[in-house]
Amino acid sequence: MEELVFIGQAVSGVVERRCCLGSGLALVQAAGLIALFFLSVLLYCFTTNALQRLAHSLPHNITCFMCFQRINRHKVQNDGVRRKDWHDYALMKSEAARSGVGEQGRPYPLTDSDRMDQAYRENGFNIFVSDRIALNRSLPDIRHPNCKTKLYTEDLPNTSIIIPFHNEGWSSLLRTVHSVLNRSPPQLIAEIILVDDFSDKEHLKAPLEEYMVRLPKVRILRTKKREGLIRTRLLGAAAAKGQVITFLDSHCEANVNWLPPLLDRIAENRKTIVCPMIDVIDHDNFAYETQAGDAMRGAFDWEMYYKRIPIPAQLQKPDPSDPFESPVMAGGLFAVDRKWFWELGGYDTGLEIWGGEQYEISFKVMNLKRVAEVWMDEYAEFIYQRRPEYRHLSAGDVSVQKELRSRLNCRSFKWFMTEVAWDLPKHYPPVEPPAAAWGELRNIGSGLCMESKHFSSGSPIRLEKCLKGRGEPTWSHGQVFTFGWREDIRVGDPLHTKKVCFDAVSHNSPVTLYDCHGMKGNQLWAYRKDKSLYHPISNSCVDSDAAQKRIFMNSCDSSSLSQQWLFQNTNATVLDSFNSNH
């Protein structure tokens, strides 16, 4: 049985958090979907009745001292397997007593000049702050309490840690390595392989070689040209000697007892691919934070964007620290049996993923096309319906991947959707249900229309002259909105909505665009019979000031024309259904 498991603590960064299948990891940046989706789909090959699981659990912590593992408890359980407590209590006690800049995951106090540092723009996070925080900084143990008492197999496989990088910041890369060395039982680390994808920064050449030679088990591989993330990872995997391969990003921090829970699942079943919960390191001030929403299943929408969906009730367990099943991996941090990885064919070398020049739209689109063409069968049509431009795009030569799918006796994508990702359509239906209202959104009092100029998170909604009937392409000017089946309001028409939604924090707050989360809350709206746009969570209505062209929340007043709005198109049946809920 193959499975994809999420385990409980995280790696600092930007993803999720659960506890006991690996302590936590945190990342500075969010990870992508495409390559991991590829591996997730591979997991349904050979499977007879197993769901994929993802075990979330990797902790965050860095310390320059070598770990002195103190094992306090041993136990033989009913299955005859000897288990033990893998925590390093001496190190945990030492770190809990530390204080200073960035210690315990606290934010660095920033000034405006700090935020303008050039290195921030080069790295995607504030390297100025990273350079001022200890390479072995302490982090809070935010695991579920149950994680702290769990025992794991005494005879765990060892692992090769693969860390690809390109022009990574000095301190963020070193902090990643130190966190792994300091937070891992030495006997479980076969090696740490840093794979340099043709970096041109001087600090990543001789200085890095000189620094790493002093650390145990670390070696550096270098590509001879830019290869991209996937082929760089594959280079590291091909050189790996450990029984398990663990892929990490180059700007993450491992927390308390992160590794044993991951390896424990693989020791139990070598065809398990285990993913940690990934907490967040703020990209600006490096504060260590829990990811919003806690543990959730990985999924995707029909434009192939990675999404998180709640764990359905039937998959929830009495112990919230236990691993749970997930259809899709949430990024580039996971552990897999080395032989099983290659039996699955490794990564598709035709996928191109990284940042900078190789992370342009053209590459991303081609990757989506390759995944759809190889794995998604008739479901690829749902992708093309939302993105017609993909239909005639070349995916490159996919014959090798199709042959691999045939050789592995992989099941159909319909089986994957029915048996593994069966809850995905509830949140992201292949065929979008009818919208309640769409088109321009005109204020009855002023005759002006709502407009969003930038389509980006944080952008305000303003009043502007209506463009309809003036020969203008209204959608491109942000005057077309859709009140859809999720009861949120998005920019665009029903077939071409942006992924930003109307959002309001409270009474008197402005109405702004924010990334759509599909969880209602601040993004739940009602379009009532009196033409008001009602916001249940704040018990207020959308109001307008024509003179200042402002849109804001205010106490509802059915007689006020400034609170009355006219959608260009409405579906009375859907509206009545929505309004019956409020």
* Secondary structure (DSSP) of 358-379: GGSHHHHHHHHHHHHHHH-GGG
Both tokens of 481, joined, read 């909105």
Q: What gap in Å lies between CA 261 and CA 21, rounded to an integer?
A: 4
Residues in the chain: 582
Beta bridge pairs of residue 500: 515
Report which secondary-structure segment, H or E, holds 89.
helix 89-96
Across 247-261, average pLDDT: 96
pLDDT of residue 443: 98
Q: Return phi, psi of residue 397, to 5°.
A: -80, 110
Q: Say if residue 218's pLDDT is above 90.
A: yes
Residue 548 CB-density burial (10 A; 0-12 exposed, 13-18 middle, 19+ buried): exposed
- Give me the amino acid identity at 357: E
pLDDT confidence tier of residue 5, bands split at 50, 70 and 90: low
Q: What gap in Å lies between CA 285 and CA 15, rounded to an integer?
A: 17
- Residue 442, SS3 per DSSP: strand
Mean pLDDT lowest among 85-94, 108-117, 378-387: 108-117
Both tokens of 430, joined, read 């292949």
Look up the CATH architecture of domain 3-343. Alpha-Beta Complex (3.90)
Mean pLDDT lowest among 54-68, 246-260, 281-295: 54-68
Residue 145 CB-density burial (10 A; 0-12 exposed, 13-18 middle, 19+ buried): exposed
Q: Return phi, psi of residue 380, to 5°.
A: -60, -25
Q: Say if residue 128's pLDDT is above 60.
A: yes
Smallest CA-to-CA distance from 336 within 344, 326, 325 is with 344
pLDDT of residue 65: 25
pLDDT confidence tier of residue 304, bands split at 50, 70 and 90: confident
Look up the CATH architecture of domain 437-579. Trefoil (2.80)
Smallest CA-to-CA distance from 20 within 324, 245, 329, 332 is with 324
121 compared with 414, residue with greater pLDDT: 414
Q: What gap in Å lies between CA 428 and CA 420, rounded to an integer?
A: 15
Q: What is the pLDDT of residues 32-51, one digit of tens each?
A: 344 444 455 444 443 323 32
Return the residue matching tokens 């996070």.
125
pLDDT of residue 455: 81
Across 103-127, average pLDDT: 74
Q: What gap in Å lies between CA 62 and CA 527, rounded to an integer?
A: 51
Q: What gap in Å lies between CA 98 and CA 281, rounded to an integer?
A: 19
- Residue 279, SS3 per DSSP: strand
Return the residue matching tokens 């209202």.
437
Residues 370 and 302: beta-carbon distance below 8 Å:
no
Across 568-578, average pLDDT: 94
Beta bridge pairs of residue 161: 192, 246
- Give me the amino acid identity at 387: R
So where are the chain's domains? 3-343, 363-417, 437-579
Distances (CA, A) of 151 to 85, 137, 180, 471: 5, 26, 20, 69
pLDDT confidence tier of residue 571, bands split at 50, 70 and 90: very high
Q: What gap in Å lies between CA 562 and CA 553, rounded to an integer?
A: 11
CATH number of 363-417: 1.10.8.460
Q: What gap in Å lies between CA 247 and CA 258, rounded to an integer?
A: 13
The one-character DSSP state at 298 is E
Q: What is the pLDDT of residues 268-279, one digit of tens each?
A: 999 999 999 889
128 compared with 562, residue with greater pLDDT: 562
Mean pLDDT lowest among 289-303, 307-321, 408-422: 289-303
